[in-house]
């Protein structure tokens, strides 16, 4: 299995990236290949000026097409997810998440931002034709502590994250590939 992880925070380090890094380690321990991206992997001008021909964005879309799932992490600002992340998602092809399982992760200053994932991020992921968008994990800033350059997740957040990752892992395993959705007569014709 292959998963793309996308850190949607313009800041480094960030609390949302801390959720993502722990998720990456967990998935790798299960034998899942994880290919990590951050917003900093894309030229600011390509995002700002909506450069659909950006080689970096095209390469990202190509990697995403080969993946089984997407881990996406974002901070919540003013009741919505990162604007730079939205810009990147807008530059992807219309069916970029077709046949993909998506696990959203988010952080915010208070629990009042929790619904931003459901009301702002999930509709965009659905518009990109994600096969399945799982119930994500939200943590408020007080649940992810910074010590030096290391973040520590609170026990409740770690538990919720591991449960979500278990669901994500099982959803990846039951994911429908495009070939499995074809009638058997078409499969026979394609292999002949």
24-79 tens-digit pLDDT:
999 999 999 999 999 999 999 999 999 999 999 999 999 999 999 999 999 998 88
Sign of the four-CA dihedral 18, 22, 28, 32: negative
Q: What percent of the chain has pLDDT over 90?
A: 70
**Structural domains in the chain, sorted by start:** 2-191 (3.40.50.360)
Residues, the chain: 192
Identify which of 12, 119, 137, 28 has the alpha carbon closest to the alpha carbon of residue 72: 137
Separation between Cα atoms, residue 49 and residue 75, nearest integer Å: 22
Q: Cα torsion for 13, 76, 34, 66, to the nearest 10°?
A: -140
Q: Please choose, from the candidates 179, 140, 168, the residue with its C-alpha nearest in 3D space to the C-alpha of residue 156.
A: 140
What pLDDT, on the 0 to 100 scale, is given for residue 189?
40
Three-state SS for 10? coil
144 has pLDDT over 50: yes
Q: What are phi and psi of 85, to 5 degrees?
A: -65, -40
In this model, does residue 8 exceed pLDDT 60? yes
Residue 176 has what pLDDT?
Answer: 58
Tell me the pLDDT band of 12, cut-offs 50, 70 and 90: confident
Sign of the C-alpha dihedral, residues 54, 98, 1, 120? positive
Element (H, E) at 160: helix 155-174
Q: Which pLDDT score is estimated for 191?
A: 38
Question: Using one digit for the tens of pLDDT, what is the confidence trace for 117-130?
Answer: 888 899 999 999 99
- Mean per-residue pLDDT, 71-97: 93
pLDDT of residue 42: 96
CB 91 within 8 A of CB 57: yes
pTM of the full structure = 0.87
Coil/strand/helix, residue 89: helix
Q: What is the pLDDT of residue 158?
A: 94
pLDDT value of residue 112: 67
Give the span between the Cα atoms of 166 and 102, in whole angstroms.
13
């Amino acid at each position: 299995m292959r998963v793309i992880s996308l850190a949607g925070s313009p800041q480094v380090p960030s609390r949302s990236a801390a959720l993502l890094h722990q998720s990456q380690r967990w998935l790798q321990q299960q034998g899942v290949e994880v290919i990590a991206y951050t917003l900093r992997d894309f030229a600011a001008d390509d995002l700002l000026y909506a450069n659909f021909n950006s080689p970096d964005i095209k390469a990202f879309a190509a990697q995403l097409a080969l993946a089984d799932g997407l881990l996406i992490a974002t901070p919540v600002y003013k009741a919505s997810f990162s604007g730079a992340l939205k810009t990147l998602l807008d530059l992807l092809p219309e069916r970029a998440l077709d046949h993909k399982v998506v696990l959203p992760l988010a952080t915010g200053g208070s629990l009042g931002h929790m619904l931003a994932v459901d009301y702002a991020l999930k509709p965009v992921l659905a518009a990109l034709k994600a096969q399945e968008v799982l119930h994500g994990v939200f943590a408020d800033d007080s649940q992810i502590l910074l010590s030096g350059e290391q973040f520590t997740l609170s026990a409740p957040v770690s538990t919720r994250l591991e449960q979500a990752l278990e669901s994500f892992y099982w959803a990846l395993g039951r994911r429908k590939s495009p070939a499995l959705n074809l009638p058997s007569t078409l499969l026979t014709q394609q292999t002949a």
